[in-house]
Amino acid sequence: MHKYINRDITPVFSTDTQMLFLGDTFTILKDIKPLSVDMVFADPPYFLSNDGITCHAGAMVSVNKGDWDKVSSVEEKHDFNRRWIRLCRDIMTTDGTIWISGTLHNIYSIGMALEQEGFKIINNITWQKTNPPPNLACRCFTHSTETILWAQKAEKKAKHLFNYGLMKEQNGGKQMKDVWTGALTPKSEKKHGKHPTQKPLYILKRIIEASTSPGALVLDPFCGSSSTGVAAKMLNRKYIGIDNEKEYIDLSIKRLQEES
């Protein structure tokens, strides 16, 4: 795994197929070897911490996630997105792809940033949640979806991998559509601790299986509790995760060690 990074950085957790880094993703991404990553999955800050309220387990709670989920202006948000997407592009292989999850708070900036930084969007996946939290304000429709953008480098020689046959097989012999329906992350995947935006493993497993082959290197620049890493391990892929919160890196280590 060390062949993928410069000697300037040291992982806080490392195995033959996994690495975790604690620190600023902008700094660490610069030390990943160029053209080395086959797939990026990113669940960046949604910037929805605006002192509002939501419902969790039947109780009224704040929507605030932490200082990492706050931004002062639209311009600052878009600059943030362009910078990390640009760094990811540098480390991706020519045929590699990037998947980015988001809500209305951030996904439109993400889409524009992808095109500005030299990407072509392949698909706009809508994840429809079967058990979303209710809308307490009752002044708009219940928020029950997230968008996942799938993109490749906008280069003529770039040929992204899509395991079409496998996706069709998993969909009962029919072409898989761009609307995926399923439940939020179950309690069984949170037994070592919770992350406020943790994705369920079935979403990450589908993404990884759809766009990589066994042995591929998958990177998550905002790894949180490392659902990406757990799914990668299950599917015999290599994994690099980055997060700037020690609490979540510690949680990631527990989950990766259990899967190992």
CA-CA-CA-CA torsion for 140, 146, 150, 153, nearest 10 degrees? 60
The alpha-helical segments, DSSP class H, found in the chain are 25-29, 74-91, 107-116, 164-170, 201-211, 227-234, 246-259
Question: How many whole angstroms separate alpha carbon 129 and alpha carbon 147?
Answer: 11
What is residue 69's predicted lDDT score, i.e. its pLDDT? 54
CA angle 194/199/203 to nearest 5° reads 150
- Our CA angle for 246, 249, 254, nearest 5°, is 130
What is the pLDDT of the chain when averaged over all its residues?
A: 92
Spatial separation of the C-alpha atoms in residues 203 and 231, rounded to whole Å: 9
Q: What is the pLDDT of residues 199-230, one digit of tens each?
A: 999 999 999 999 999 999 999 999 999 999 99
Ranges of each domain in the chain: 2-259
- What's the rounded Cα separation, in Å, for the pair 166 and 206? 10
DSSP string, 113-169: HHHHTTEEEEEEEEEEESSPPP-SS-SS----EEEEEEEEE--TT------HHHHHH
Which pLDDT score is estimated for 64? 52
What integer is the mean pLDDT of 29-34? 96
Q: Does domain 2-259 have CATH number 3.40.50.150?
A: yes
Give the pLDDT mean for 5-31: 95
Q: Does residue 99 have a pLDDT over 70?
A: yes
Prediction pTM value: 0.91
Helix (H, G, I), strand (E, B) or coil at 21: strand
Identify the pLDDT of residue 135: 87
Q: How sure is the predictor about 137, in pLDDT bands with cuts at 50, 70 and 90?
A: confident
Contact 87, 26 (CB under 8 A): yes
Q: Is 162 exposed, middle or buried, given 0-12, 13-18 or 19+ CB atoms closer than 10 A? A: middle
Confidence of residue 19 (pLDDT cuts 50, 70, 90): very high
- Per-residue model confidence (pLDDT) at position 50: 55
pLDDT of residue 68: 46
pLDDT reading at 149 higher than 50: yes
Token pair in block for residue 164: 């079409």
pLDDT, one tens digit per residue, over 156-188 is 999 999 999 999 999 999 999 999 999 999 999
Residues 6+ apart with CB under 8 A from 216: 38, 39, 237, 238
Q: Which residue has the higher pLDDT, 6 or 91?
A: 91
